[in-house]
Amino acid sequence: MLMVYVSHPWGGKRGNEINADEETTKLQFDYEDVVFVSPIHAIRTGGYNKVDYVDGLAYAIELMRRCDIVYVAPGWRESTGCRAEVEEARRKNIPIVTNRQQLEEQLERTCELTSKMYYQPVQRQYVWNLLEEIGGYHA
């Protein structure tokens, strides 16, 4: 599956965290065959003030580098972290999108490219078979 990094303002503000959660959740429900990752949710540092800003941004950039596309949420230009993520994505040639139409176009292009290289989405049946093999999860 393709992975899309969701870059959004945070700044330790609870309202921004809620907005990021809502946006990432909407994207995930709308694009079931794509994995959306948010650094707010993926990186647990014990709180905004408990990790050095540069270290926290380094974790986020490391996560972003492993993604196929960067989706930039509204308000990113006012966020130092988002601007740094966008600049790093540019440097690493990771496609950047700022709205749903661009996202859909980029997903299509990226799927076409990656299907020729390595893209094999993880299907539900594969996961069920895997769980059955290891004797885990019983619905």
Instruction: Give the mean model confidence (pLDDT) for residues 90-119.
Output: 81
Given this model, what pLDDT does residue 134 score?
Answer: 66
Residue 92: pLDDT over 50: yes
Given this model, what pLDDT does residue 99 score?
Answer: 92
Residue 49: pLDDT over 90: no
**Weakest-pLDDT range from 56-60, 78-82, 103-107, 122-126:** 122-126
Structure tokens at 73: 């949420």
Q: Please, what is the average pLDDT of the chain?
A: 78
Please report the domains of the chain, with CATH numbers, ordered by start residue: 2-134 (3.40.50.450)
Instruction: Give the pTM.
Output: 0.75
- Check if the beta carbon of residue 3 is closer than 8 Å to that of residue 66: yes
- Could you read off the pLDDT of 21-34 as tens digits, one per residue? 678 778 888 888 88
- Check if the beta carbon of residue 70 is closer than 8 Å to that of residue 37: no
Please tell me the total number of residues recorded for the chain in this structure.
139
Q: Compute the chain's Rg from CA coordinates.
A: 16
* Residue entry with tokens 């647990």: 44
Residue 94: pLDDT over 70: yes
